[in-house]
Amino acid sequence: MKNALWLIVGIGTGFLAAHQVNRTEVGRAFFVELDARVQEFAAAIASGYRVREAELRGEPENDR
């Protein structure tokens, strides 16, 4: 129970710190760049998943 409390306090502190950093111009730029990288990573994962799924179904390579 004590560990769960510390986890919740840590998450809350992290959100507060991120909010304060996001108020600055440099912090906002950091979060915009971070968001772009996360989106790019998520798109690559999704693309790889779709390619692998097509391979497992036995679809020809030119149909992808």
Residue at 32 is within a domain: yes
Running along the chain, 64 residues long, what does each successive block of 10 average in pLDDT? 93 96 95 97 97 89 58
Q: Is the pTM of this model over 0.75?
A: no
Residue at 17 is within a domain: no
Residue at 45 is within a domain: yes
Residues 63/54, Cβ–Cβ less than 8 Å? yes
**Alpha carbon distance 38, 45 (integer Å):** 11
Residue at 8 is within a domain: no
Residue at 29 is within a domain: yes
**Alpha carbon distance 28, 6 (integer Å):** 28
**Alpha carbon distance 34, 60 (integer Å):** 36
Count of structural domains, the chain: 1
The residue segments making up the domain with residue 56 are 25-64
For residue 62, what pLDDT is reported? 63
